[in-house]
Amino acid sequence: MGMIPTELASIDGPRVETRWRRIVTPIPAPATLPMIERLRALEPRSMTGMSPIWWHKAEGFLVSDGQGNQWIDLTSGIVVANVGHAHPRICEAIRRALDQKLLATYAFPALQRANLLEKLVHLSPIPDSKALLYSGGTEATESAILLMRRHGRSLHPKKIGILSFLDGYHGRTMSASLASGVPQKADWIQRQQVHHYQIPFPFCLHNPWKQERNEPCNRACFDQCVIHLHQEGIGPEHIAGIIVEPMPGWTTWPIPTDFAQAMADWARQNDILICFDEVQSGCGRTGKFYAHEHIGVVPDLIALGKGLSSSLPVSAVLGPKWLMDQPAPGEMSTTHGGNPVCAAAALENLCIIEDEQLVKASETTGKLVLEQLRKIQEDNPHRILSVHGRGLFISMHFNRPGSTKPDSALADAVAHEAIRRGVMMFPTGRGYIKFTPPLCIDPEAALEAVEVIRQCIQLVCES
Ligand SMILES: Cc1ncc(COP(=O)(O)O)c(C=O)c1O
């Protein structure tokens, strides 16, 4: 079975020629190996987590390596290109911004920033909103954590704790990585020492609170979290805010409404703020503009990034004026946040999402894809534990035979096989594959990719 190994070597495989996919060389293309080696000599090992496929051009939902090979992209970069890669209107907006000859403004007043902020405030479900622009998603979540802590501390010096969920992901800066739940990502510091606390995510599939079969995680499950925290000596008086992905990237599973409502009630009763991290799930990805629309709770803060621009680095925090205005002038800003070229790209991106009705497209194409992926699950009931998601935010979870434990070898082998057949995916290393193409993907291309996945599962399971 031909997995792409971590050592660099091209492997001969099937040649492919369809309307969208083209594989005409061994993969990775031999001519790209020296370039990849050059990169590997320059970058740390941590940058080799993706398959070694050279990205030369990405347009719409197609990616090519400059050597004649072309893939249907199920990654959208890493869930960035919601309107498609290199959308002509975004390229044009960037060109216009360049022609104005204004490439950096910091916090000096400038038009592109004002235009984008106006749009964001208009799209905010939070009453009386303001917004602040950054570059990376991690800056937005870090900033939201800081705002929640400032507010908590203003109520009581001990109210500075941050509650987050196991296995979540909020970025790599300090508080963001402490709020992220994969233990080894923050093993350099004791969470409790810096007032970070975690509870299980209500991912019903793994049944964290041992519910009766088929019963979704609910209010009683959240109550158990509160009891557990209490037993650890942590009460609501220690907690300033909760940060959570309403639909985490690794589960694509929305927080069940009942659980979310219990969390929101507890937070409101105890002066605890809630930030929904929508860096990955926002901007139409899940078939709603915000993923939290699926769960019926409006947060106090929202972090956005990735699909906010579909291109250049832009992220944002949205929150109510009373909270956003707490830091003094100059206290909450970054050099590149709201960069005029990036802001122009993000504004155009938001207009494209509306004009091309991409939220609806995400919902409709997502339903088609989910239906077909579920058929694959029916054919492989012993190896596929679950297929779920909303919009074009779908994951397929593999399990070891006779167990519900994730089978990461199988999931990654499927992703690698799909890449060798012209479907771009990312190996997750966690027992699932993810279906997150640009929202503009032609439904026929999406179904072609599903068919390739079906063949790859068959191939890998039989080998
Ligand atoms: C939910 C979520 N929050 C925050 C981040 C961090 O964003 P960035 O990598 O742009 O810093 C990510 C990135 O994957 C994410 O998925």
- 139 Cα nearest atom in ligand 1: 11
- Is pLDDT at 7 greater than 80 in this prediction? no
245 in contact with ligand 1, CB cutoff 6 A: yes
Chain center to CA of 232: 31
Helix axes 219-231, 257-269, angle to 10 degrees: 50
Per-residue confidence (pLDDT) for residue 59, from 0 to 100:
98
Per-residue confidence (pLDDT) for residue 209, from 0 to 100:
84
- Is pLDDT at 358 greater than 80 in this prediction? yes
Reported confidence tier of residue 1, pLDDT bands at 50, 70, 90: very low
Per-residue confidence (pLDDT) for residue 188, from 0 to 100:
62
- Is pLDDT at 447 greater than 90 in this prediction? yes
- Strand, helix or coil for residue 314: coil
Contact yes or no for 134/306 (Cβ under 8 A):
no
pLDDT (tens digit per residue) in 257-277: 999 999 999 999 999 999 999
Per-residue confidence (pLDDT) for residue 379, from 0 to 100:
96
Distance 78 CA to ligand 1 centre (A): 9
Distance 137 CA to ligand 1 centre (A): 5
- Is pLDDT at 186 greater than 60 in this prediction? no
Taking CA atoms only, the protein residue closest to ligand 1 atom 13 is 171
Distance 210 CA to ligand 1 centre (A): 30
| Strand ranges, E, within 254-349 | 273-277, 301-304, 315-320
Q: Residue 281 and residue 292: Cα distance in Å, rounded?
A: 9
φ and ψ at 315, to 5 degrees?
Answer: -140, 170
Contact yes or no for 211/202 (Cβ under 8 A):
no
What is the C-alpha R_g of the chain?
A: 22
Q: Residue 318 and residue 323: Cα distance in Å, rounded?
A: 10
- Is pLDDT at 3 greater than 70 in this prediction? no
Residue ranges of alpha helices (H) inside 234-338 are 257-269, 321-324
Distance 303 CA to ligand 1 centre (A): 10
Q: Residue 71 and residue 81: Cα distance in Å, rounded?
A: 15
Q: Residue 351 and residue 358: Cα distance in Å, rounded?
A: 10
φ and ψ at 175, to 5 degrees?
Answer: -70, -35
- Is pLDDT at 399 greater than 60 in this prediction? yes
CB-based contacts of 111: which residues, under 8 Å, 6+ apart?
340
Distance 67 CA to ligand 1 centre (A): 31
φ and ψ at 139, to 5 degrees?
Answer: -70, -35
Looking at residue 406, what DSSP letter applies? B
Identify the architecture of domain 88-355 in CATH: 3-Layer(aba) Sandwich (3.40)
Triad 448, 450, 453: Cα angle to 5°:
115
What global pTM score does this model have? Answer: 0.96
Residue with tokens 């987050």: 164
Distance 289 CA to ligand 1 centre (A): 17
Distance 170 CA to ligand 1 centre (A): 5
Q: b vs e for 249-263, b when ≥16 Cβ sit within 10 Å of the residue's Cβ?
A: bbbbbbbbebbbbbb
Chain center to CA of 220: 28
Measured distance between the N- and C-terminal CA atoms of the chain, rounded to whole angstroms = 6
Domain coordinates of the chain in residue numbers?
A: 16-83+358-462, 88-355
Please choose from 178, 247, 279, 314 the residue to mutate so as to test ligand 1's pocket, defined by most ligand atoms within 8 A of CB: 279
Mean pLDDT of the chain: 94
Q: What percent of the chain has pLDDT over 90?
A: 88
Please choose from 143, 280, 286, 395 the residue to mutate so as to test ligand 1's pocket, defined by most ligand atoms within 8 A of CB: 280
Q: What percent of the chain has pLDDT over 70?
A: 97
For every residue of 79-143, DSSP letters joined together read HT-TT-BT-HHHHHHHHHHHHTT----TTS--HHHHHHHHHHHHH--STTEEEEEESSHHHHHHH
302 in contact with ligand 1, CB cutoff 6 A: no
pLDDT (tens digit per residue) in 137-155: 999 999 999 999 999 999 9
Q: Quick one: how many helices (H) and strands (E) in the chain?
A: 13, 16
- Is pLDDT at 359 greater than 80 in this prediction? yes
CB-based contacts of 330: which residues, under 8 Å, 6+ apart?
107
Chain center to CA of 392: 12
Per-residue confidence (pLDDT) for residue 6, from 0 to 100:
56
299 in contact with ligand 1, CB cutoff 6 A: no
pLDDT (tens digit per residue) in 219-271: 999 999 999 999 999 999 999 999 999 999 989 999 999 999 999 999 999 99
CB-based contacts of 263: which residues, under 8 Å, 6+ apart?
222, 242, 244, 255, 274, 297
Per-residue confidence (pLDDT) for residue 2, from 0 to 100:
38
- 78 Cα nearest atom in ligand 1: 14
177 in contact with ligand 1, CB cutoff 6 A: no
170 in contact with ligand 1, CB cutoff 6 A: yes
Per-residue confidence (pLDDT) for residue 184, from 0 to 100:
54
- Is pLDDT at 366 greater than 70 in this prediction? yes
Per-residue confidence (pLDDT) for residue 81, from 0 to 100:
98
Q: Residue 93 and residue 343: Cα distance in Å, rounded?
A: 10
Task: Tell me the two tokens of residue 108.
Answer: 């000096």
Q: Residue 135 and residue 233: Cα distance in Å, rounded?
A: 37
- 249 Cα nearest atom in ligand 1: 16
- Is pLDDT at 180 greater than 90 in this prediction? no
pLDDT (tens digit per residue) in 311-348: 999 999 999 999 999 999 999 999 999 999 999 999 99
CATH 3.90.1150.10 is right for the domain spanning 16-83+358-462: yes
279 in contact with ligand 1, CB cutoff 6 A: yes
Contact yes or no for 91/345 (Cβ under 8 A):
no
> What's the whole-number mean pLDDT along residues 53-74?
98
138 in contact with ligand 1, CB cutoff 6 A: yes
Per-residue confidence (pLDDT) for residue 314, from 0 to 100:
98
- Strand, helix or coil for residue 147: helix
- Is pLDDT at 4 greater than 50 in this prediction? no
Q: Residue 194 and residue 177: Cα distance in Å, rounded?
A: 12
pLDDT (tens digit per residue) in 90-137: 999 999 999 999 999 999 999 999 999 999 999 999 999 999 999 999
Residue with tokens 């907006």: 93
Residue ranges of alpha helices (H) inside 128-231 are 137-155, 174-179, 219-231
Specify the long-range contacts of residues 398-406, CB closer than 8 Å, at least 24 apart.
Answer: 398/431, 398/432, 398/433, 399/431, 404/206, 405/431, 406/430, 406/431, 406/432
